[in-house]
Copies of this chain bind each other. A is one copy, B any other.
Amino acid sequence: MRPKIYLFGDSITEESFDDGGWGASLVNHFARTVDVVLRGYSGYNTRWALKVVDRVFPAAESGGAAASEPPVLAVTVFFGANDACLPDRYAAFQHVPLDEYKQNLHSIVSSLKKRWPKTLILLITPPPIDEDERLRHPYAENPSGLPERTNEAAGAFAKACVETAGECGIPVVDLWTRMQQNPDWPKAYLRDGLHLTPDGNKVVFEEVVKKLNEGGLSLENLKVDLPLLVDIDLGDPLKAFDHL
């Protein structure tokens, strides 16, 4: 049974199989070793995510997952971009207070750890926000003239996400900080001030692979389940399949 990596998150996860998406790149990277499984839910914040986490993932048996299930090597947990919507602006229905966001993240991590004690849980912070672009697209109909998200608020949620990872003793990709290391980040990495361009997707892919590698989940360590072409004897190809 091929092991799995789940991608759990909001729209930035749900659309990660669009052209150049970081989810598709992960499948491509792990093509012969791991099933990368999409569990992205557009618009969701951690409050909603917590409501559905037991339905998103297979029921836990007492003491862990059923023995007949494929092992789950890792889960990426990528929420916060919606929680960070400001409570008095255009997308207020998605807002979650900062303290509750941290508590919700803790609860999601606990739920996953209870299900799969050995699984690598990787948090990803929300990306930075290009406020000007948010007013142009997609919220051109926003009557207030004020963006529904700010980069400052996204930064506070990113900081809380990094703190939560520290408190849980798990790795984190600080995407908010990482992206802003490139001065061209608003145009280079964001296509509408929030969602990712192909280059922005590439950053997420590379940072996730780096953290997976640091956690021991590298192509060198993972088992290929069937013979690779390079391991097949061209003079006697069927030999490779004799003792599977």
Residues B48 and A38 in contact, CB atoms below 8 Å apart = no
**The one of B28, B42, B226 that contacts A21, using a Cβ cutoff of 8 Å:** B28
Q: A43-B229, A43-B232 are in contact. Are A35 and B32 (CB under 8 A)?
A: no
Interchain CB contact (< 8 A) of A41 among B43, B226, B238: B226
Q: Which of B31, B229, B238, B241 touches A38 (beta carbons < 8 Å)?
A: B31
Copies of the chain in the assembly: 2
A37 and chain B: residue at smallest CB distance: B35
Q: Which residues between 29 and 57 of chain A lie within 8 Å of chain B, taking CB atoms?
A: 31-32, 35, 37-38, 40-44, 47-48, 51-52, 55-56
Q: Are B93 and A51 in contact (CB under 8 A)?
A: no
Pair B31/A93 contact, Cβ less than 8 Å? no
Q: A237 interface residue, CB < 8 Å from B?
A: yes
Task: Give residues 180-220 of A contacting B (CB, 8 Å).
Answer: 198
Contact A19 B17, beta carbon cutoff 8 Å: no
List of B residues within 8 angstroms of A228 by Cβ: 42
Of the A-B pairs whose beta carbons lie under 8 Å apart in the complex, a sample of 26, sorted by A's number, is: A1-B58, A14-B32, A17-B24, A17-B25, A19-B24, A21-B24, A23-B27, A24-B27, A27-B27, A32-B41, A35-B37, A35-B38, A42-B229, A43-B229, A44-B229, A47-B238, A48-B237, A48-B238, A48-B241, A52-B226, A55-B244, A56-B226, A66-B68, A68-B68, A93-B234, A93-B237
